[in-house]
Amino acid sequence: MYALLVVSVINLSVGTSSTITEKYYEELIRQRTAEAESYNLPTTNNEFKPGVQSNTTHDYGSYDFVIVGAGSAGSVLATRLSETDSYKILLLEAGGEEDDFSQIPSMFHHLFFTKMNWGYFSTPQTTCCLGMKNRACAVPRGKVLGGSSAINAIMYVRGNRYDFDEWVELGNPGWSYEEVLPYFIKSENSQVDGDPGYHGKTGFWNVAYSSPASPFLSKFFNASLKMNQPVVDYNRRQQIGSGRLQFTIKRGKRQSTGKAFLDNARQRSNLEVKSNVLVTKVIIDKSKVAKGVEFVTKHKKFFVKAKKEVIVSAGVVNSPQLLMLSGIGPKDHLKALKIDVIEDLPVGMNLREHALFPGLVYNTNYTLSNRSTEEFVKEYLKGLGPYTRGAGADAIGFIHTGQGNRAPTIEYLFVPPTEIKSKIISKAFNYNDDLTNNFLNKLDPQRSILIYLALLHPKSRGRITLKSNDPLDFPYVNLNMFSEQEDIDAVIEGIEFIRNLFETDTFKKIDARLLEIPVCKELKKQYREYWECVIRHMTLTIYHPHGTTAMGPDKKTSVVDSDLNVHGIQKLRVVDAGVFPSSPSGHLNAPAVMVAEKIADIIKKIYRFS
């Protein structure tokens, strides 16, 4: 009776309230996209300034666990640990809340230019990012509840079974594919027609297709088959092939770990979530035991005690920064910055990135109709349409180039005409005027197909270092992509594969033609030199840094052990994508969540009697 009444009331108001909602979203998108276009990123953490310099440290009490960072891993850890009523947990996050705009998947490039992004850029590069302003690639990192999962491109790509088996081969027991698969499944609430046995249907995290599929998708699969690439669920045991992309979305809206996990736990009385807080130091005593952390918020400085553990989940750039500021890192580097060395470890080293080459654009004579923001909003509110796609991609594929490696080496992302008109992409890529005007501005949202190629197992290594001992300074991010020639060779093989794919009669029938690349024209007659030059100019990253606090058995080459305890320090763990000891053949969000799920179980076991 009551339920019937509610339904009829909703029905009565449906006409007017849905129009109000549509108008609200149209205005929100108009205003926030304009703001992003003129937004200047910060270059320091000075918003926290007076607090950092404050002379009094206030006492913030004590908790069992203090978790630094509510990102992909931190949100999941806090959610799982707070399932145990007796643990008292404090989750500290530098950013604030997500909002209706950041929930729209297709706005992901715009989110780079909001306060939800820390705003890092790489240092000026010599082997990559040559076509970017200042030769610097953007290094976006989420600064918001949900962390990078709240600003990412929502693709759900776990990686290959061999990747995790390799973690064990590198000396990290417990991380084999058979052992981690249950944790991928535990998190997931899959809505896709994936392979049986590989997907969860009862987890917190919704995974779905963006619908409807682009009319170009069937053409892409058709051409893939002609290239001997079967159409697969790439999140299963056999990854090679092409597949429709699985997204972390729910009814078309972004499912960050903040929304999917933390929102289920925030009301628990044993969990305190504190946002707009910059953690500046882990306090470690003389016997090398982590005691708690110092943080600043609202211009005041605090110390909070951790009775059981401090868990650093500040991400691949900020976790190394925080460890180094706390005296854990390469001895010589810390000494040079007048930081007392507590433990000499290769923190910040071994930075790996999945380089992303966006240089293959094909224009076809198959043109989508010209549609308006109003139509996209109407569809979005039904959970459908181009606004529900992150970065515009609809499909993904994996190939194996080179020899010896068992996992795929190159990923390709298929971006059909996005329909959405926007200029933000050149700001997001940080391309110089030549590449902006003569390449990106030539993309036609109604008929251009864009292919992104990602290098899955880079040999090149970059590094995170401190600029100074001041937590208000941004750290340096030296990407150093393509410092190893093998990495160039793998991308060239990927380019050859895609060019052959577009030579199939499937694409010939719609007159697919490669858009001219404006750089390196003088080298056009020398095939390899030409593509190498193009790759070094145009390649950005897929925003997948990892490995800067890698796990392993040896203190010389790793920072944490296989349970993610910092070597040589007690009661201190690092749990985020920095701990990956080798590169997943996929994206990083799902593995970061998997790592947190697994460590939460390990921690619960250790403290089961206390």
Ligand X SMILES: Cc1cc2nc3c(=O)[nH]c(=O)nc-3n(C[C@H](O)[C@H](O)[C@H](O)COP(=O)(O)OP(=O)(O)OC[C@H]3O[C@@H](n4cnc5c(N)ncnc54)[C@H](O)[C@@H]3O)c2cc1C
Q: What are the catalytic residues?
A: 544, 587
**Binding segment for ligand X among 91-99, 197-205, 235-243, 418-426 (CB under 6 A)?**
91-99
Helix orientation angle between 373-380 and 2-38, rounded to the nearest 10 degrees: 140
- Closest approach of Cβ 491 to ligand X, in Å? 19
The residue (of 33 and 363) whose beta carbon lies closer to ligand X is 33
Residue 222, interface with ligand NAG (CB under 6 A)?
yes
Q: Does 53 bind ligand NAG (CB under 6 A)?
A: yes
| 3-class secondary structure, 602 | helix
The listed partner (ligand X, ligand NAG, none) that binds 69, CB under 5 to 8 Å by sort, is ligand X
Type of residue at 9 = V
Interaction with ligand X in 242-281: which residues (CB under 6 A)?
277-279
Binders of ligand NAG among residues 502 to 521 (CB under 6 A) are 506, 509-511
CB of 544 to ligand X, least distance (A): 5
For ligand NAG, how many residues bind (rule: CB under 6 A)? 13
Residue owning tokens 């780079």? 112
Residue 21 beta carbon to ligand X: minimum distance, rounded to whole angstroms: 27
Whole-number Cα distances in Å, 55 to 220, 384, 470: 62, 53, 15
Question: 411 and 160 in contact (C-beta within 8 Å)?
Answer: no
Q: Is 144 marked as binding a ligand?
A: yes
**Which DSSP string corresponds to 415-431?**
E-------SHHHHHHTB
Which of residues 36, 66, 70, 355 is near ligand X by CB under 6 A? 70
The answer to whether residue 151 forms part of the interface with ligand X (CB under 6 A) is yes
Binding mask 339-368 for ligand NAG (x = CB under 6 A): --------------------------x---
CB 564 within 8 A of CB 153: no
On whether 279 is known to bind a ligand per the annotation, the reply is yes
Structural element, H or E, at residue 27: helix 2-38
**316 touches, from ligand X, ligand NAG, none (C-beta below 5 to 8 Å by class):** ligand X
> Does residue 310 belong to the site contacting ligand X (CB under 6 A)?
no
Cite the DSSP H helix spans in 55-199: 72-81, 108-111, 161-169, 177-187
**Is residue 71 near ligand X by the rule CB under 6 A?**
yes
Write out the DSSP string of 34-67. Answer: HHHHHPPPPSB-GGGHHHHT-S-EEEEEEEEEEE
Q: Cβ closer to ligand NAG: 227 or 523?
A: 227
CA distance 542 to 516: 23
Q: Which CB, 147 or 358, lies closer to ligand X?
A: 147
* Span from 51-59, 329-337, 495-503, 550-558 in contact with ligand NAG (CB under 6 A): 51-59
**Residue 437 interacts with ligand NAG (CB under 6 A)?**
no
- 527-536, long-range: CB < 8 A, 24+ apart: 528/492, 531/491, 531/492, 531/495, 532/488, 532/492, 534/359, 535/357, 535/359, 535/482, 535/488, 535/491, 535/492, 536/127, 536/128, 536/130, 536/482, 536/488
What does 318 bind: ligand X, ligand NAG, none (CB cut-off 5 to 8 Å by kind)? ligand X
Which residue ranges are tagged as binding site for FAD? 144, 279
